[in-house]
Amino acid sequence: MTVRQVLFRKGREVYAIPPEATVLEALKELAQHDIGALLVMEGDQLLGIFSERDYARKLVLLGRFSKDTRVEEVMTRQVVTVAPETELSEAMRLMTEHRVRHLPVVEGGKVVGVISIGDAVKAIIAEQEVLIEELSRYVTENR
Q: What is the pLDDT of residues 11-62, one digit of tens each?
A: 889 999 999 999 999 999 999 999 999 999 999 999 999 999 999 888 888 8
In the chain, pLDDT over 70 holds for what percent of residues? 100
The helix (H) or strand (E) run that includes residue 115 is strand 110-116
High-pLDDT (> 90) share of the chain, %:
76
The pLDDT of residue 39 is 98
Q: Please, which residues have CB within 8 angstroms of residue 124's CB and are 6 or more apart in sequence?
A: 1, 88
- Residues forming beta bridges with residue 116, ordered by sequence position: 102
Q: Are 47 and 41 in contact (CB under 8 A)?
A: yes
Per-residue pLDDT tens over the stretch 83-94: 999 999 999 999
What are residue 10's phi and psi, to 5 degrees?
A: -90, -20
Helix (H) or strand (E) holding 137: helix 117-141
- Hey, what amino acid is at 26? A
Pick the CATH number of 3-141 from 3.40.1010.20, 3.10.580.10, 2.60.120.1600, 3.40.50.300: 3.10.580.10
